[in-house]
Amino acid sequence: MARNARITLIFGGFVTAIAAAFYPIFFHPLAHKSDYQQVQKANREGINQADIQPVGVKMWSDPYKPSDK
């Protein structure tokens, strides 16, 4: 029974480490979307996107904003 408990602890530790790594990368920004939008609005203030956009590349738009189609 001790061998099974050790394998379970190792596997559980691995799953916990993966979850701990994914939380700040994926889940925190999804849960705090308005905070990130405010930061990006402040960072991009005064920047004209058309001036820095490479030629031939589609203009970036917010993928979370509903389209007007």
> Which residue in this structure is represented by tokens 């005064």?
46
DSSP codes joined into one string, 13-64: HHHHHHHHHHIIIIIHHHHTHHHHHHHHHHHTTT--HHHHSPTTSPPP--TT
Give pLDDT tens digits for 10-40: 999 999 999 999 999 988 988 998 998 898 8
User: Quick one: which H or E segment has residue 7?
Assistant: helix 2-22
Q: pLDDT-based confidence at 60, cuts 50/70/90?
A: confident
- What global pTM score does this model have? 0.50
